[in-house]
Amino acid sequence: MASQTEQFYQQDSSTVLKAMQSTETGLTAQQVSERLNQYGPNKLVAKRRTTLIEKFLAQFKDLMIIILLIAAVIAGIAGERADAIIILTVVILNAIFGVFQEAKAENAIDSLKQMAAPMATVIRDGHETRVNSAEIVPGDIVLLEAGDIIPADIRFLSANALKVEEAALTGESVPVNKQVAPIETADLPLGDRKDLGFMNSNVTAGRGSGVVIGTGMQTEVGKIATMLDAASETTTPLQENLKQLGKVLTVLILIIAVVVFGIGMLRGQESVLDMLLTSISLAVAAIPEGLPAIVTVTLAIGTQQMARHKALIRKLPAVETLGSTDIIASDKTGTLTQNKMTVEAVFVNQEFHGDVTKDYETTKPLTAVMLLNNDTKFDNGQLLGDPTETALVQYYLDQNLEVEQYLKDRPRLAEIPFDSERKLMTTFNQLPDHRILVTFKGAPDQLLKRVTQIDVDGQVRPITDADRELILATNHDLASEALRVLAMAYKITDQVPEEADLTSEKQERDMIFVGLIGMIDPERPEVYQAVKEAKSAGIAPIMITGDHSDTAGAIAARLGILDTQRGNEQILTGAELDEQSDAQFEQNVAKYTVYARVAPEHKVRIVNAWQKKGKVVAMTGDGVNDAPALKAADIGIGMGITGTEVSKEASDMVLADDNFATIVTAVKAGRKVFANIQKALQYLLSANLGEVLTLFVMTLMGWQILAPVQILWINLVTDTFPAIALGVEPAEPGIMDRKPRGRKSNFLSGGVMSNILYQGLLEGAITLGVYAFAISFPVHHSPELAHADALTMAYATLGLLQLFHAFNSKTIHQSIFKVGLFKNKFFNWALLSSAILLVLTIAVPGFNQLFHVTELTAFQWLIVVFGGILMVLVVEIVKLVQRKVFHLE
pLDDT digit string, tens, across residues 216-262: 888 888 887 777 666 555 555 666 666 677 677 767 777 877 887 88
Mean pLDDT of 544-555: 84
- Per-residue pLDDT at 201: 84
Q: Reply yes or no on whether 547 is catalytic.
A: no
**Continuous segment of H or E residues that includes residue 532:** helix 527-536
Q: Indicate if 386 and 449 belong to the same structural domain.
A: yes
What pLDDT, on a 0 to 100 scale, did the predictor assign at position 715?
Answer: 77
Tell me if 314 is assigned to some domain.
no
Please tell me the predicted confidence (pLDDT) of residue 3. 43
- Considering the domain architecture, whether residues 80 and 158 belong to the same structural domain is answered as no
**SS3 assignment, position 574:** helix
266 and 394 share a domain?
no
Arithmetic mean of pLDDT, 639-644: 74
Q: Are residues 533 and 489 in the same domain?
A: no
**CA neighbor of 223 nearest in space, from 15, 425, 44, 101:** 44
* Residue 522, SS3 per DSSP: coil
Closest alpha carbon to 721 in 319, 293, 301, 316:
293
Q: How confident is the model at residue 482 (pLDDT cuts 50, 70, 90)?
A: confident
Q: Residue 240's pLDDT is what?
A: 66
* 316 is a domain residue: no
How many CA atoms within 13 Å lie on the side-chain side of 817?
A: 7
The residue out of 224, 245, 272 marking a domain boundary is 224
More confident residue, 45 or 135: 135
Tell which wins on pLDDT, 705 or 83.
Answer: 705
The answer to whether position 664 is within a domain reads: no
More confident of the two residues 268 and 486: 486
The vertex-91 CA angle with 88 and 95, nearest 5°, equals 140
- At residue 64, the pLDDT reads 54
With a cut of 70, say whether residue 812 has pLDDT above it: yes
Q: What is the pLDDT of residue 168?
A: 67
The confidence score (pLDDT) of residue 457 equals 87
- Residue 442 has what pLDDT? 93
Those residues with Cβ within 8 angstroms of residue 747's Cβ, 6 or more apart along the chain or in another chain: 241, 245, 674, 677, 678, 681
* 615: nearest Cα among 245, 298, 234: 234
Are 716 and 834 in contact by the 8 Å Cβ rule? The answer is: no
CATH of the domain at 643: 3.40.50.1000
- Close Cβ partners of 439 (under 8 Å, ≥ 6 residues apart): 368, 369, 372, 373, 426, 427, 429, 488, 489, 490
Angle at 869 between CA 678 and CA 853, to 5 degrees: 95
Mean pLDDT of 546-568: 83
Quick one: which of 386, 628, 627 has its CA closest to 638?
627
- DSSP secondary structure code for residue 525 in this structure: T
Q: How many domains does the chain have?
A: 5
Considering only CA atoms, which of 530, 540, 802, 810 is closest in space to residue 672?
Answer: 810
pLDDT at 741: 80
Q: What is the DSSP pairing of strand 127-132 with strand 119-124?
A: antiparallel
Comparing 89 with 577, the larger pLDDT belongs to: 577
Query: Would you say residue 351 has pLDDT above 80?
Result: yes
Cβ 76 vs Cβ 259: under 8 Å? no
Instruction: Check residue 81 and give its pLDDT.
Output: 67
Within 8 A by CB and 6+ apart from 508, the residues are: 416, 422, 424, 426, 440, 450
DSSP conformation letters of 841-870: HHHSTTHHHHHT-----HHHHHHHHHHHHH
Task: Give backbone dihedrals phi and psi of 438, rounded to 5 degrees, phi first.
Answer: -100, 120
CATH number, position 777: 1.20.1110.10
Q: Quick one: 569 and 587 in the same domain?
A: yes
Average pLDDT in the 33-41 region?
Answer: 92
> What's the confidence (pLDDT) of residue 410?
94
Q: Could you tell me the pLDDT band of residue 91, with boundaries at 50, 70 and 90?
A: low
pLDDT (average), residues 39-60: 74
* pLDDT grade for 2, boundaries at 50, 70 and 90: very low
Instruction: Please indicate, yes or no, if residue 492 is contained in any of the structural domains.
Output: yes
Q: Is the per-residue pLDDT at 554 higher than 80?
A: yes
Exposed/middle/buried for residue 830 (C-beta within 10 Å: 0-12, 13-18, 19+): buried
For residue 680, give the H/E element and its range: helix 660-701
- Per-residue DSSP letter, 316: T
What's the pLDDT score for residue 108?
A: 39
Task: Give the least confident one: 191-205, 271-285, 854-868.
Answer: 271-285
Contacts of 873 (CB under 8 A, 6+ apart): none
Are 208 and 159 in contact by the 8 Å Cβ rule? The answer is yes
Look at residue 234 in the predicted model and tell me its pLDDT: 55
Could you give the count of Cα atoms lying within 13 Å of 558 in the half-sphere of its Cβ? 20
Each residue of 595-623: pLDDT tens digit? Answer: 998 877 788 899 999 999 989 999 987 77
Q: Of 462, 492, 518, which marks where a domain is finished?
A: 518
Convert the pLDDT of each residue in 721-768 to its tens digit. 888 888 888 888 788 888 888 777 777 778 888 999 999 999 999 999
CB 872 within 8 A of CB 808: yes
Report CA-CA distances (Å) from 271 to 261, 268, 285.
10, 7, 21
Q: Which of 484, 541, 382 is nearest to 172 (CA)?
A: 484
Q: Which pLDDT does position 133 carry in this prediction?
A: 86
**Range 785-808 average pLDDT:** 92
Residue 815 lies in a domain: yes
Answer whether 335's CB lies under 8 Å from 658's CB: yes
Residue 230 lies in a domain: no
Query: Which run of H or E residues covers position 331?
Result: strand 327-331
Q: How do 342-348 and 571-573 pair as beta strands?
A: unpaired
Catalytic residue, chosen from 62, 83, 153, 331, is 331
pLDDT above 60 for 102: no
- Mark whether 87 and 26 lie in a shared domain: no
Spacing of C-alpha 692 from chain mean position = 42
C-alpha 329/C-alpha 634 separation (Å) is 11
In this structure, are residues 180 and 154 in contact, taking their beta carbons and an 8 Å threshold?
no
CATH code assigned at 442: 3.40.1110.10
Residue 79 resides in a domain: yes
Q: Identify which of 357-366, 446-455, 537-546 has the greatest average pLDDT.
A: 446-455
Do 82 and 32 belong to one domain? no
If asked whether residues 8 and 157 sit together in one domain, one would say yes
pLDDT of residue 93: 64
Note the pLDDT of residue 100.
61
Cα–Cα distance measured from residue 186 to residue 821, given in angstroms and rounded to the nearest whole number: 68
Does the pLDDT of residue 788 top 80, yes or no? yes
Q: Please give the residue range of the domain that contains residue 184.
A: 2-46+112-224
Q: Judge contact between 42 and 216, C-beta under 8 A.
A: yes
Q: Is 400 exposed, middle or buried (0-12, 13-18, 19+ CB in 10 A)?
A: exposed
Backbone angles phi, psi at 309, to 5 degrees: -105, 20
Q: For 522-546, what is the mean pLDDT?
A: 89
Complete DSSP assignment for 145-180: ETTPBP-SEEEEEEEEEEEEE-HHHH--SSPEEP-S
The number of residues making up the chain comes to 889
The DSSP annotation for 820-845 comes to -SSS-HHHHHHHHHHHHHHHHHHHST
Beta strands in 570-616 (DSSP E): 571-573, 594-596
3-state DSSP call for residue 51? coil
- Claim to verify: residue 85 and residue 128 sit in the same structural domain: no
CB distance 741 to 538 below 8 Å: no
Question: Do 117 and 97 belong to one domain?
Answer: no
Instruction: Report whether pLDDT(674) > 60.
Output: yes
CA triple 391-396-400, angle to 5 deg: 135
CATH number (domain holding residue 123): 2.70.150.10
* Domain final residue, candidates 77, 105, 133: 105
pLDDT exceeds 50 at position 461: yes
- Give the pLDDT score at 773: 94
649 and 719 part of one domain: no
- pLDDT score recorded for residue 90: 57
Radius of gyration of the chain (CA): 36
- pLDDT, residue 284, reads 62
For residue 740, being part of any structural domain is answered with no
Q: Give the mean pLDDT of 681-709.
A: 83
Shared domain for 709 and 780, answered yes or no, is yes
C-alpha count within 13 angstroms, C-beta hemisphere, residue 600 = 27
Residue 113 has pLDDT above 50, yes or no: no
Residue 591 to residue 50: CA distance in whole angstroms? 41
